[in-house]
C-alpha cells in the first residue's frame, strides 16, 4: 500500500498521492466509512471507480496522519464539492487510475487534479482552452494536460458548479518539470497554480 508522493509544510498544507495496488476488500479494511459514505460507495457500479473513490479517501486519511490533523468525515456539498465538519480545514480529492490524491489547506479553499496525459486532450482542446491558450500549447500533449489540470484545480477551489473552463484564463507559460501558472477567473479572481510533471502523471494544485 504505497504512498507514491507526499508534500506538506507543517500542518497547514499538504497533498499525498496514492498508488493503487489494493483490492476493494483491502482498501475497505483500511478505511472507516460511515453510513453515508458506505451508501455512496455502494452506488458506484464500475469496479475501477470504486477503487479510485476508496483510494482517494485512504490518501486523505494517511495525509491527516502525516500532518497530524484529526481525520474528520468527508461530506459532499450540493455542488459536489467535498468538505469537512470543521470549515477551517479545506480539502480536495482527485483520481486517475491507478493514482489517487488528497490535498488539505487550513488557510484557504484548495483544488487539486491529477491526470495521465491522453490524446483525447488534443481532440477536445477547443472545449476547455481559449484561442490564446491553444496557440501557447503548440499541440504539446503534456502542456495540454497541465492546462486541463490547472483549470480543474481552479474549478474545484473556486467552488461554483456553473463555472465554465472558458471563463478561466491562463497566462502563457514555459513548460518545466515543476512550475507555476498565473490564471484569472471571470476577469476578476486571480490564482497562482502549481504544477508538477511526474513520469506517470501530471498534478496541479492551488
Output the CATH code of domain 3-110.
Answer: 3.90.470.20
What nine digits make up the cell of 186?
Answer: 471571470
Residue-averaged pLDDT of the chain: 94
Q: What's domain 114-205's architecture?
A: Alpha-Beta Complex (3.90)
pLDDT in tens, 3-58: 999 999 777 899 999 999 999 999 999 998 888 888 889 899 999 999 999 999 99
Where do you find CATH 3.90.470.20 in the chain? 3-110, 114-205
Judge whether 4 and 99 are in contact, CB under 8 Å.
yes
Q: How many angstroms from the chain centroid is the CA of residue 38? A: 22
Residues of the chain with pLDDT under 70: 1
Rounded CA separation 84/14 (Å): 16
Strand, coil or helix: 118: coil
Amino acid at each position: 500500500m504505497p504512498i507514491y508522493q507526499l508534500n506538506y509544510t507543517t500542518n497547514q498544507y499538504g497533498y499525498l498521492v496514492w498508488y493503487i495496488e489494493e483490492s476493494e476488500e483491502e482498501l475497505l479494511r483500511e478505511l472507516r466509512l460511515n453510513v453515508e459514505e458506505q451508501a455512496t460507495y455502494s452506488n458506484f457500479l464500475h469496479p475501477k471507480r470504486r477503487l479510485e473513490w476508496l483510494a482517494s479517501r485512504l490518501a486523505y486519511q494517511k495525509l491527516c496522519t502525516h500532518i497530524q490533523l484529526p481525520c474528520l468525515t468527508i461530506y459532499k456539498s450540493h455542488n459536489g464539492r467535498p468538505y469537512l465538519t470543521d470549515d477551517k480545514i479545506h480539502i480536495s480529492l482527485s483520481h486517475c487510475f491507478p493514482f489517487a490524491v488528497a490535498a488539505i489547506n487550513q488557510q484557504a479553499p484548495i483544488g487539486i487534479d491529477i491526470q495521465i496525459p491522453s490524446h483525447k486532450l488534443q481532440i477536445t482542446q477547443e472545449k476547455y482552452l481559449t484561442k490564446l491558450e491553444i496557440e501557447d500549447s503548440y499541440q504539446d500533449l503534456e502542456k495540454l494536460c497541465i492546462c486541463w489540470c490547472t483549470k480543474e484545480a481552479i474549478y474545484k477551489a473556486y467552488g461554483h458548479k456553473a463555472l465554465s473552463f472558458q471563463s478561466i484564463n491562463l497566462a502563457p507559460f514555459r513548460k518545466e518539470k515543476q512550475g507555476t501558472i498565473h490564471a484569472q477567473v471571470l476577469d476578476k479572481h486571480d490564482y497562482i497554480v502549481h504544477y508538477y510533471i511526474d513520469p506517470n502523471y501530471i498534478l496541479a494544485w492551488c
